[in-house]
Amino acid sequence: MTVLRLTQGAPLLADGTLGPALAVLAALALRTALARAAQVPGLAHEPLVAREARTAWNLLVPALVILLVVAARPLEATVITSLTDKRFASDDVPSFVGLTHYRTLLTLRLDEVACRTADDGSCARSANGAVRWESIPRETLLDGYRTAWHWDLPLVTAPDRAISVGALDRTWMRAIWVTLMFASASVTLELLLGLFIALTVHSEFRGRGAMRAVMLVPWAIPTVVSARLWELMLKDTSAGIVNRVGMMTGLIESPQAWLTTAALQLPSAIMIDVWKTSPFMALLLLAGLQVIPKELYESARVDGASRAREFVSITLPLLKPAIAVALIFRTLDALRVFDLFNVLFGRAEHSVSTYTFEVLINNQEAGYASAIGVLIFLLIFGFAILYVRFLGVNRT
């Protein structure tokens, strides 16, 4: 678990927020499973079930205790620091500011704005085709709000109007939006591609073992290395491989600035993450496929079931536990993405983790960074609870 040490030994969680969440989730899953077993008539009184329950707790409790002991102190210090104006690497005595940092991070304001008018009377657009909107009202600016992003809602408002989302810390709000879009898009694509790869390498064919080894190569490459390789391939000149191939095939007319154009930055990061992490998703799903009894497929074929029917009626239901575990691991990891954004974009585009680093190291605002760390923990913990509840992890 990565811990950033503050002055006087006060720690700030960087990517270690997952530890307490997993500990609590493991305890909840075990408790729910035991409760469901106890509801089966006569089952709770059987000695075998009781012995299995005791064995499960005996194996789980030491790990939970160690995890909580290791994670509790950093989390406690982070929460306490978030209520002060503590400076990083400073001997000044911090002052108590209460929930001021959380108010700055969470306060939003919505304003309806019109598009800027072009010479022909239509909405003016920027070079990348995006609509240019008017600034938010002056009184809103005086209150400290800045536009984080625009929501073009033609079904709710007129086509030439949008909702301006203003925030006291628009960089933080932008980082949340980018992180959520990155996590949702990348995890969805990785699940689909990983499932396709897992089904392919699970089938019987010559060279299957070699293909399983080759598919893990992108995942085995460190993220910093793969990000740097893709940065070279996505160069905004004809020397970049992606631009060269795109122009040779007619997909693009001129070299594109993939990593510096605002509209292309997030799709580029998603593409790189999908390329690197889909093998990991495939590996988890392949493990789930291998425990499905072959007799079920043989019986289905005897009954005349098609391949599609086998997939829908046998593979997907029995693969659900593996899908749930894969989604939990990948979503929690995507929400904490740091190295990919740091290498590709630097300070041009932030995820919540890179923004925390920016606030702590460059701005030296330890109290404010601690408040961000607490919100990241709550965000990750909330996603974990939703997955456990709606994907049926407890029942599996």
Percent of the chain with pLDDT over 70: 79
319, burial (CB in 10 Å: exposed 0-12, middle 13-18, buried 19+)? buried
Residue 358 burial (CB count, 10 A):
19
pLDDT band for position 4 (50/70/90)?
very low
Tens digit of each residue's pLDDT (9 = 90 or more) over 69-115 = 888 888 889 999 999 999 988 888 889 999 999 998 988 777 777 77
pLDDT band for position 211 (50/70/90)?
confident
Residue 3 burial (CB count, 10 A):
17
- Measuring CA to CA, which residue among 15, 24, 103 is closest to residue 381? 24
pLDDT band for position 269 (50/70/90)?
very high
Tens digit of each residue's pLDDT (9 = 90 or more) over 49-75 = 777 778 888 888 888 888 888 888 888
In the prediction, which pLDDT does 52 show? 79
SS3 126: coil
Calculate helix-pair angle for 170-202, 208-215, nearest 10 degrees.
170
In the prediction, which pLDDT does 138 show? 61
Q: What string of H, E and C letters represents the secondary structure of 284-328?
A: HHHHHHHCCCHHHHHHHHHCCCCHHHHHHHHHHHHHHHHHHHHHH
At residue 159, does pLDDT exceed 90?
no
In the prediction, which pLDDT does 17 show? 47
Contact (CB, 8 A) for 363 and 288: no
In the prediction, which pLDDT does 5 show? 37
In the prediction, which pLDDT does 145 show? 65
DSSP tag of 135: P
At residue 197, does pLDDT exceed 50?
yes
For each of the domains in the chain, give its residue range(s) and CATH number, in order of start.
Answer: 108-167 (no CATH), 172-354 (1.10.3720.10)
Calculate helix-pair angle for 208-215, 262-290, nearest 10 degrees.
140
Contact (CB, 8 A) for 99 and 93: no
At residue 240, does pLDDT exceed 60?
yes
N-to-C CA span, the chain: 28
Summary mean pLDDT of the chain: 80
